[in-house]
A and B are shown apart, each in its own frame.
Chain A
């Protein structure tokens, strides 16, 4: 199903002790002098935490920036929906936290499949993120004395999560958005909303710009510059049902992959344990209930599989608080992958609750008795409100019903330590890259990574590329052959989709793809299932190109066409996902292979054979991709089996 490259892939990690690596690298990086920055143009695609923070920081430094998003405003990027919080090693609660501990927890939480040096840098700059956000006016929760407040998240035994009610992502994004809009007002950032990136422009192996479709007019536009920054989020919607926004897609990343950027670890998917269960076949998305709820909510199922009683009528003696029972040290606060698998296991064994039996209880009764309803409301009011809106049940009175759902994707475009992809001049930030979370991301770490990349890493490293290549890169006009070729290829793809004129809607085909992915590439995977999934995906791709029906034209606002274009890319990407999951003959973090588990059903890693990042090189649709292995070395945190008992 694939070929293997001979030479190992080099992550270009700097020399020196881990605590000095980032300083050492910064000292080596080329600088662009203040007066020269205004001569250079940087294209930023995506305006979530990573994209907005990068775009505003680059503009503050003096570069000319163009910022692109498919939504009508940069403020709507899906970072806005993150609920629970953002980690930082401030140690404000004086409970023994440190940069080292945040680093250690993140490497261990990622099940030893992340690049150690990146994670250490992430932990080192985490404190500066909080400083920056507070200075912008982000209203983080505070104590009565006026100092910042913290709470605990999964996979940690210290309190290091900063939060703004259950809307932390919203407040952080609005902070980054306000900085971005300040630069728009100052004329340093040109905003390009309602644009979909369709292709990457590469000339002589160096990134030169992008082609995008203006979603309002359908016009194909080429934008060129001296570097391209991709911050386009994750690919969870390959499962159709996920907690991602409906517009989230893999298109920008996949188009870069087709132009030479390696795609790393696509099979690492986070299935979040606390989401509202599916209610019907019209379901269009799933809604997350923040992990922070597990601070006060207790997860349980009835001890007897055929207990038909309402939850409040089931006495304590007949309840199985299975996370507390199995993991006494971390209890309800085990990492997400562990909690999700435990819920699936209970439901598969027949202990699930609710009409579909595909749910477990998350119960706040004890917390409300202990702290009072007002305290619980002040911590989680908006989440309880949202739950009640969707289910018509009052979680102050009856336990929530929850089930795991696809939430985050740890895999993404491969980047080196500088966050530069395998195509020089293309940088990838946030969820769109693969680097910091290994095989499982800990809660409250996505916001941290997005902002670390955008505020404190990329602004340094992009200068190195521009310092080295900037003056030799002559402007490319729209008539340049590589620009022409990219424009034509994007246009012809749109035209081919419209030309199929079959009978099946994009949505119906997307649902079929989601079913294949959930059944065979979801929480539990087998070699046979994955192989079959790859075949079914190939067949479904043929169905798409022979039977899809998209009405309307390419030169107008056409949401159905947008969806079809994204789906076409998901159908190519999904095969790589299945191939990656099939090739990784071990279980680690969010990747669980049934063949590789311990006697008590925990993930069994194979460090001898699979302690590497799998970076895939595109060879053509349906062709065997080439696997490049970047060895993951653990010099600081000894490789060990995760235990949360």
Chain B
């Protein structure tokens, strides 16, 4: 591509605070380089807004290398935009064409209230983890690491599940705003490893109960979550969570 960049129309959700009424506003942004990341494009927009005396667009971001899970934009109706297994910060403008109109919204879910513009509150996900997404081991208690042999294939599967970055795209993509993919990733990681076995039943029961309490919806197996997930978390984990849940309800003391 020559020095001339793309000319874009941005349709951005603006909302002054959690109680304020939001609206879409249109911005024209010209000469956008295809090598820019999506967030760098928003940086350029914000620099221009500051010059014009309009408050910049608030959006969450931090590591900008796809791992911290902080960035969270709905781009043209897709969580994290059009690329597979890609966070918003790793999306690049070469994915768009000159003359495009791009709609940018926050995650929308009852359990993720908007704080400002494109920024939402995702502390509900932390509370799901604090309900049971851990192994109860105090520092100083652990036996030698190689005392516990873990078959390589189990470790690989646990790692696949543990790769979740906690961004909430699964919730945003789901028509029911369900957090099943997020919750099942942690339940699966622990269920696949021997370290997770002692607390297996109460973990799944408590995490699912917390998920419901936070106002996340139910799972109806449409797999939008898997399609939107930037970390490639599979819906197989949801099946595993359901098995774990059933086992806990039917066979464990905690489930009675």
A is bound by B: yes
- The chain A residues found within 8 Å of chain B, CB to CB, are 53, 56-57, 60, 71-76, 78, 80-81, 90, 92, 128, 130-137, 139-148, 164-165, 167, 170-171, 174, 177-179, 181-182, 184-185, 191, 193, 216, 243, 245-247, 279-280, 282-285, 287-288, 385-386, 389-390, 392, 455-456, 459, 505, 507-508, 549, 551-552, 556-557, 559-560
Knowing A73-B123, A282-B43 touch, does A389 contact B66 (C-beta < 8 A)? yes
- Which of B150-158, B171-179, B215-223, B235-243 contacts the other chain? B150-158
- A143-B152, A146-B151, A179-B139 given. 8 additional CB < 8 A pairs? A73-B125, A132-B139, A134-B195, A137-B195, A139-B193, A191-B126, A288-B65, A390-B90
Task: Please name all residues of chain B whose beta carbon is closer than 8 Å to the beta carbon of A141 when the two chains form the complex.
Answer: 155
- Which of B97-105, B128-136, B245-253 contacts the other chain? B128-136
Is B146 a contact of A507 with CB atoms below 8 Å?
no
Task: Please name all residues of chain B whose beta carbon is closer than 8 Å to the beta carbon of A130 when the two chains form the complex.
Answer: 145
Contacting A at CB under 8 A, from B31-90, are 33, 35-37, 39-40, 43-44, 46-47, 50-51, 53-56, 58, 60-70, 83, 85-86, 90
Minimal beta-carbon separation of A552 from chain B (angstroms): 5
Is B68 a contact of A139 with CB atoms below 8 Å?
no
- Considering only CB atoms, which chain A residue lies closest to B34 in the complex? A392
Minimal beta-carbon separation of A202 from chain B (angstroms): 29
B159 CB-CB contact with A under 8 Å: yes
- Considering only CB atoms, which chain B residue lies closest to A189 in the complex? B130
Task: Please name all residues of chain B whose beta carbon is closer than 8 Å to the beta carbon of A551 when the two chains form the complex.
Answer: 50, 53-56
Minimal beta-carbon separation of B116 from chain A (angstroms): 4
Task: Please name all residues of chain A whose beta carbon is closer than 8 Å to the beta carbon of B137 when the two chains form the complex.
Answer: 132, 135-136, 179
Is A245 a contact of B135 with CB atoms below 8 Å?
no
Interface CB pairs A-B, < 8 A, 24: A53-B139, A72-B123, A73-B166, A90-B145, A131-B145, A135-B141, A137-B193, A164-B162, A181-B134, A184-B126, A185-B130, A185-B131, A245-B63, A245-B68, A246-B63, A246-B64, A285-B64, A287-B64, A287-B65, A386-B65, A456-B140, A507-B43, A556-B116, A559-B58
The CA of A167 and the CA of B163, in the complex, are separated in Å by 8
Task: Please name all residues of chain B whose beta carbon is closer than 8 Å to the beta carbon of A245 when the two chains form the complex.
Answer: 62-64, 68
Cβ-defined partner of B139 (8 Å) among A56, A139, A284:
A56
- Considering only CB atoms, which chain B residue lies closest to A174 in the complex? B162
Task: Please name all residues of chain B whose beta carbon is closer than 8 Å to the beta carbon of A76 when the two chains form the complex.
Answer: 62-63, 68-70, 166
Is A508 a contact of B163 with CB atoms below 8 Å?
no
The CA of A147 and the CA of B152, in the complex, are separated in Å by 8
Is A139 a contact of B189 with CB atoms below 8 Å?
yes
Cβ-defined partner of A386 (8 Å) among B16, B66, B115, B166:
B66
Is B145 a contact of A148 with CB atoms below 8 Å?
yes
Contacting A at CB under 8 A, from B186-217, are 189-190, 193, 195-196
Is B146 a contact of A148 with CB atoms below 8 Å?
yes
The CA of A290 and the CA of B61, in the complex, are separated in Å by 22
A-B contact count (CB 8 A): 216
Minimal beta-carbon separation of A356 from chain B (angstroms): 12
Minimal beta-carbon separation of A280 from chain B (angstroms): 6
- The chain B residues found within 8 Å of chain A, CB to CB, are 16-17, 33, 35-37, 39-40, 43-44, 46-47, 50-51, 53-56, 58, 60-70, 83, 85-86, 90, 92, 94, 115-116, 119, 121-123, 125-126, 129-146, 148-152, 155, 158-159, 162-163, 165-166, 189-190, 193, 195-196
The CA of A166 and the CA of B166, in the complex, are separated in Å by 18
Minimal beta-carbon separation of B218 from chain A (angstroms): 24
- Considering only CB atoms, which chain B residue lies closest to A166 in the complex? B67
The CA of A73 and the CA of B140, in the complex, are separated in Å by 26
The CA of A547 and the CA of B51, in the complex, are separated in Å by 13
Knowing A167-B163, A282-B43, A505-B50 touch, does A556 contact B17 (C-beta < 8 A)? yes
Task: Please name all residues of chain A whose beta carbon is closer than 8 Å to the beta carbon of B158 when the two chains form the complex.
Answer: 137, 139
The CA of A71 and the CA of B126, in the complex, are separated in Å by 12
Minimal beta-carbon separation of A318 from chain B (angstroms): 29
Is B134 a contact of A146 with CB atoms below 8 Å?
no
Knowing A134-B145, A185-B130 touch, does A216 contact B115 (C-beta < 8 A)? yes
The CA of A552 and the CA of B17, in the complex, are separated in Å by 12
Task: Please name all residues of chain B whose beta carbon is closer than 8 Å to the beta carbon of A165 when the two chains form the complex.
Answer: 159
Q: Which of A56, A80, A140, A283 has the most CB of B within 10 A?
A: A80
Is B119 a contact of A557 with CB atoms below 8 Å?
yes
Minimal beta-carbon separation of A539 from chain B (angstroms): 22
- Considering only CB atoms, which chain A residue lies closest to B93 in the complex? A282
